Amino acid sequence: MALVAGGRLAAAVSDAGGLGILGGGYAGALGGEPDLEKELALVGGRKFGLGFITWALDRAPQALDDVLKHSPYCVFLSFGEPKPHAKKIRDSRAKLVCQAQSLRHVEQALDAGADAIVAQGTEAGGHGAARSTLPLVPEVADYLVKRAPQTLLLAAGGIADGRGLAAALMLGADGVVIGTRFWASAEALTPQAMTDRAVRATGDDTVRTKAIDALRGVPWPPEFSFRVLKNKFTDEWAHREADAVRARGSLASAYAEARAKQDLDIYLTVAGEAAGLLHDRPSASSIIENMVAQAESLLKRGGSLDFRVSRAAS
C-alpha cells in the first residue's frame, strides 16, 4: 500500500473500528513517496500502524526513528528480516506485526518477537511470493498453536468482502489485512484513473512477475514478485523475466516519466486478484460495515445458504 494508504485512509479505517495502517513503503529510500510527516498529521491521535518494506528500511533506518516519535500502535514489517528492527520497536512499546509468505518467514518473525503474523497469499496485489492464501493460513495457524499460541494470526491476499473475512476466520485466522479493497476506497491516495481501470477488470486481468522490478532497477529480493493489472508494459515483459534481468534498470527513466504523466500503458496499476470483486469506490467505513455484516451473516446462517439467497436477490 505504498503511495496509497495515507493519513485519510488510515484515520477512516480506525474510526470505523479497524486498525488503519499508513503505507511507509520504501522509507523514502527511492524518492517520490508521499510526505510521511504530513500523512501522520492526518491520523490525529487515533490508534494507527505504520508499514515499511523491510529491506528498504534497512537502508534508511532513520525513518523508523522518525515514525516511532509519533507513538504508533504497531509497526508492520514486510519483505525482509525483521529482527534488526525489533528491539527498537519493542522499546517504543509499539507492537511488531510481520508479514510472512512462507513458514521460513514465520520463523523469522517469531524469532524477532512478533506480536502478530500476517500470512500473505500470492493472490495479493503488489509484492508477494508463491504460497496461496487458502492453504497457507491454516498451515501457519497450526504452526502457531505448537510454537507461539499467543501470537495473533491475520490473513491477507484476495480478501475483499465478508466472504473472504468469514473464510479466513474459519481457516484459523484472528482477523484479516485488506489491501486491494481499501486501495479502491474514497479515502485512498489511488488515482481515480487506476480505480476506474480496476473496476472494469477481473482477477484474470492481473499478472505476477519479477520482470518489472528488474527493468525499473528496484532491488527487490529474488523470492518476491509483483502483482499488477496487465497493461502494454506487462504484455511485452511479464513473461520475459530472464531478458528483464539482463536489461536491469534500462527502463527506469521511461517508467519514472510514465509515472509523472500517469501513463497507465506503462505506469503500473497495483491491484490483486480481488480486482474482480471491485465495483465502486466507496468510503472505508462502508467497506468495513458491509464486510463485517456479510461475514456475520455467513458464519451464523451457513455460507452456501446465505450466498444462494443473496445471489437470488441480486
Q: In 3D, which of 281, 113, 272, 111 has the Cα closest to residue 185?
A: 281
Q: Kindly tell me if the per-residue pLDDT of 308 is higher than 70.
A: no
**Same structural domain, 119 and 243:** no
pTM: 0.93
Q: Which of 27-36, 103-112, 147-156 has the lowest mean pLDDT?
A: 27-36
Q: Which grid cell sits at 240?
A: 520475459
Within a domain: residue 69? Answer: yes
pLDDT at 314: 46
Cβ neighbour number for residue 300 with a 10 Å cutoff: 9
Q: How many CB atoms lie within 10 A of CB 266?
A: 18
pLDDT at 2 (0 to 100): 84
Tell me, yes or no, whether 1 lies in a domain: no
Residue 275 has what DSSP assignment? G
CA-based max dimension of the chain: 55
Segments of the chain assigned E as strands: 20-25, 48-53, 74-78, 95-100, 116-120, 126-128, 152-156, 175-177, 206-209, 225-229
**Full DSSP string of 24-65:** EETTTSSS----HHHHHHTTTT--EEEEEEHHHHHH-THHHH
Give the rounded distance of the alpha carbon of 243 from its chain centre. 28
Q: Do 120 and 199 belong to one domain?
A: no
Query: For 126-145, how does the pLDDT look when each residue is reduced to its tens digit (9 = 90+)?
Result: 999 999 999 999 999 999 99
Residues 56 and 109 in one domain: yes
219 and 163 belong to one structural domain: no
Cell of 186: 474514497
User: Which of the pair, 44 or 310, is modelled with greater confidence?
Assistant: 44
Domain count, the chain: 2
- For residue 303, with 0-12 CB atoms within 10 Å meaning exposed, 13-18 middle and 19 or more buried, which class applies? middle
Same domain, 234 and 246: yes
pLDDT at 156 > cutoff 80: yes
Q: Are residues 173 and 115 in the same domain?
A: yes
d(CA 201, CA 125): 13
> Given a cut of 70, is residue 256 above it in pLDDT?
yes
* 298 shares a domain with 150: yes
Q: Which residues of 162-200 are buried (b: 16+ CB within 10 A; e: fewer)?
A: bbbbbbbbebbbebbbbbbbbbbbbbbbbeeebbebbee
CATH number, domain with residue 182: 3.20.20.70
φ, ψ (nearest 5 deg) of residue 184: -105, 50
Structural domain including 150 reads 7-190+283-313
Strands 152-156 and 74-78: unpaired
